Amino acid sequence: MGILTWIIFGLIAGAIAKAIHPGADPGDWIVTILIGIIGAVVGGWLGSMIFGVDVTGFNISSFLVAIGGAVICLAIYRMVAK
């Protein structure tokens, strides 16, 4: 799957990660969306390399992997930024 797809997934996943993991961020909503993009890319890579999840396009498993990666990256960002 291309990087452009993961960026689109990341935009959506960042917003969903913010809803799943609410709270005050050290940055603004743009930082949350950027973390979502990074989380989606990292989640996609981890999902395909470690867990063997086939991330082939816009499907539910790819979307869940992107959201999971975004939530993890958002939690790490909040721990580091405090």
Which H helix or E strand runs over 28? none
pLDDT of 20 above 80? yes
What confidence score (pLDDT) does residue 54 get? Answer: 64
What confidence score (pLDDT) does residue 61 get? Answer: 78
* pLDDT digits 0-9 by tens, 23-72: 766 567 778 778 888 887 788 788 888 877 766 677 787 788 888 888 88
Cβ atoms of residues 27 and 33 within 8 Å: no
Burial 11-41 (b: 16+ CB within 10 A, else e): bbbbbebbeeeeeebeeeeeebbbbbbbbbb
What confidence score (pLDDT) does residue 1 get? Answer: 58
The domain spans of the chain are 3-81
